[in-house]
Amino acid sequence: MIWNPAAERMPRTARETLQWERLRVTLAWATERVPFYAERLRGGALRGLADLAALPFTRKSDLREHYPFGLLAVPPGELARLHASSGTKGKPTVVGYTAGDLDVWREVMARVLVAAGARAGDTLQNAFGYGLFTGGLGFHDGAERVGLSVVPASSGNTARQILLLQDLRPAGLCATPSFALHIAETLAAQGGDPRALGLRYGLYGAEPWTEGLRGALERAFGAPAYDIYGLSEIVGPGVAGECEAREGLHVADDHFLPEIVDPATGAVRPVGEQGELVLTTLTKRALPLIRYRTGDITTLRDAPCACGRTSARIARLKGRADDMLIVKGVNLYPSEVESTLLAVDELLPHYQLVVDRTGTLARLEVQVEPAPAVIERCGGFDASHPTLLDLGRRVRERLASAIGLTAQVTLLPPRSLPRSEGKAVRVIEKRAADAVDLKPGGAP
Ligand code: DLL
């Protein structure tokens, strides 16, 4: 089923005309009302969508420098809602919505919910954090628009999540993939069966995750797992989401215009090439953003999708450009390590990367937990047991061939790695001055 067939199945040429009309309105709106854009977009009359590439980028630092209201195109009194990013470093990024912007958000969220199989009358357990983070309220409002009954569980409190799942029997669960996995694992450890919850679909996002993690979640809950993408600066969740074909995420490109650029030079990359996603809002009034550098690495696809939606699609997000690690000259995304680890049945999908930069050469340690069956075979956890030594060696070799880097693999006792209730912290960087960096920052 398609939520808004007129918009989602719009022929490409009509869509481009609409995008161009909306872009012109947005540019005029931003230049007239936001001094920052009046200054930057001066004199740049565009003749068509293709000219967009000539305009300067907007970056997260611009939002920070104009904190809190400097990039708003409406007076704060006209805002219907404010949200903010977690702001792990310094001040948060504040985003504002007019009542009309909230309507756009509900619309795009309704599309991704319906694309994942949600239907009016379903119950949805919403385990995204409610509050300044856009996950909770974004899913909540979109779900109400579709006619779902929402259980506003919010993030955290795994025991209560399990109780609600068992007793209210929702059709769907939405959460970060790492938290959903933690819920399933906790239930299984109590002797319960997550498959018996009867979930029909799971909607996951807000952090990078891989096909391997999708497989783990689908096996755990016995329900298909859909990838939902978004960021607060643009609107929150709902910028893009998967349909039943699950061959990329459909971008709501009648509201948010995507481009892919070279993260280093900013040059536009052709369809099919990987790079940084840049988004221009086409309908937002409170906080129009022109060519916003999301920092997220993906690929744009424009081939038609079997589902009939005509929008551009993006590939599963690989991670953030600033989460890319450089270890011994090798560029590496945590998601690449995840893909390798999750292909090994004898491991649990819980891992952490420790990058030690205190010496002259950075060292990568991959910490991961063996599956319970393996530990049972060893008669309990013993890191020096030949089975575990052999497993560690095999994982090291697999990683070396997949990422081109020899990492130290440390197998840890059951449940010793921290479990996530929001965005998982996958990387710990140890630096010389003893400062420890956690990435990505843990919004709920
Ligand atoms: O995470 C919005 C959201 C909530 C999306 C719930 C999906 C579900 P922020 O806290 O502003 O907003 O973080 C945005 O999270 O730039 C990506 O780096 C990352 N991210 C979001 N969704 C995905 C995803 C929300 N599906 C930042 N895959 C983005 C990979 C994701 N990364």
Read off the pLDDT of residues 93-128 as tens digits, 9 standing for 90 and up: 999 999 999 999 999 999 999 999 999 999 999 999
Tell me if 214 is assigned to some domain. yes
Tell me if 90 is assigned to some domain. yes
Domain end, chosen from 322, 350, 385, is at 322
* C-alpha to C-alpha distance for 373 and 347, rounded to whole angstroms: 10
227 lines ligand 1 (CB under 6 A): yes
Question: What's the domain count of the chain?
Answer: 3
Residues 242, 218, single domain; the answer is no
Tell me if 109 is assigned to some domain. no
Tell me if 352 is assigned to some domain. yes
Tell me if 111 is assigned to some domain. no
Above pLDDT 90, what percent of the chain? 92
Residues 336, 390, single domain; the answer is yes
The owner of tokens 């009034």 is: 285
pLDDT at residue 406, as a whole number: 94
Mean predicted confidence (pLDDT) in 145-156: 98
Has this prediction a pTM greater than 0.85? yes
Domain limits for position 307: 5-103+229-322
348-366 per-position pLDDT tens digit: 999 999 999 998 889 999 9
Residues 285, 374, single domain; the answer is no
Residues 35, 126, single domain; the answer is no
Most ligand 1 atoms within 8 A of CB, residue of 124, 139, 207, 214 to mutate: 207
Tell me if 112 is assigned to some domain. no
CA-proximal residue: ligand 1, atom 4 (nearest)? 135
Give me the chain's average pLDDT, please: 95
Residues 121, 200, single domain; the answer is yes
Confidence of residue 2 (pLDDT cuts 50, 70, 90): very high
* C-alpha to C-alpha distance for 198 and 203, rounded to whole angstroms: 15
128 lines ligand 1 (CB under 6 A): yes
CATH number at residue 268: 3.40.50.12780
Cα 317 to averaged position of ligand 1 atoms, centre (Å): 9
Mean predicted confidence (pLDDT) in 257-262: 98
Residues 433, 332, single domain; the answer is yes
Tell me if 81 is assigned to some domain. yes
Q: Does the pLDDT at position 435 exceed 80?
A: no
Tell me if 110 is assigned to some domain. no
Cα 229 to averaged position of ligand 1 atoms, centre (Å): 5
Residues 200, 248, single domain; the answer is no
Confidence of residue 434 (pLDDT cuts 50, 70, 90): low
pLDDT at residue 443, as a whole number: 47
Q: Which residue has the higher pLDDT, 437 or 374?
A: 374
Domain end, chosen from 306, 322, 338, is at 322
pLDDT at residue 271, as a whole number: 97
Query: What ranges make up the beta strands (E) of 127-197?
Result: 149-151, 172-175
Cα 135 to averaged position of ligand 1 atoms, centre (Å): 8
Q: Does the pLDDT at position 218 exceed 70?
A: yes
CA-proximal residue: ligand 1, atom 29 (nearest)? 231
Residues 340, 424, single domain; the answer is yes
pLDDT at residue 89, as a whole number: 64
Domain end, chosen from 322, 343, 360, is at 322
Mean predicted confidence (pLDDT) in 324-344: 94
CA-proximal residue: ligand 1, atom 6 (nearest)? 135
Residues 348, 435, single domain; the answer is yes
CA distances, 338 to each of 105, 152, 178, 229, 399 (Å): 31, 30, 12, 19, 10
Q: Which residue has the higher pLDDT, 323 or 167?
A: 167
CA-proximal residue: ligand 1, atom 9 (nearest)? 231
Residues 377, 240, single domain; the answer is no
Residues 99, 233, single domain; the answer is yes
Cα 204 to averaged position of ligand 1 atoms, centre (Å): 10
CATH number at residue 383: 3.30.300.30
pLDDT at residue 437, as a whole number: 61
* C-alpha to C-alpha distance for 438 and 323, rounded to whole angstroms: 10
Coil/strand/helix, residue 333 = coil
pLDDT at residue 441, as a whole number: 42
CA distances, 106 to each of 78, 156, 354 (Å): 19, 24, 39
Residues 336, 296, single domain; the answer is no
Identify the CA nearest to 149 among candidates 184, 122, 188.
122
CA distances, 268 to each of 35, 278, 311, 315, 400 (Å): 26, 9, 19, 17, 32
